[in-house]
Amino acid sequence: MHDFLISAAAFIVLIGVMVIVHEFGHFIVAKLCGVRVEAFSVGFGPRLFGFKIGETDYKVCLLPLGGFVKMSGENLPGENMALEGADPEKIEAQATDPGALTSHPRWQRMLIGVAGQHSTCC
């Protein structure tokens, strides 16, 4: 039983390190390209602790098997959202925001996506 607990703890630590490296790849390239990063999270679920520097909220959340980088404009509403009652002015403001992911050239968006993949494989 002791060996199992040690192995499980080591697995969680290893996954946590891999997630941090992976997400940092997305994060650093997004910052270098001028994309506004709203959150850098290690873990999912409720926030345990963190701090905010500039526009970015750095946080550690309850469930350690995962993480994410939240970029501005990453999930812009589609055209059908305007029909579902979303504020058209807010949609337009997000679409024209120079710090939003969607305001950057496709090659930069591709680099941001690939940066996380490459950082964990090499």
The catalytic site residues sit at: 23
Do 21 and 118 meet the contact criterion of CB atoms below 8 Å apart?
A: no
Do 85 and 66 meet the contact criterion of CB atoms below 8 Å apart?
A: no
Query: Which pairs from 4-10 meet CB under 8 Å and 24+ separation?
Result: none
Do 61 and 39 meet the contact criterion of CB atoms below 8 Å apart?
A: no
Helix H or strand E segment including 42: strand 37-53
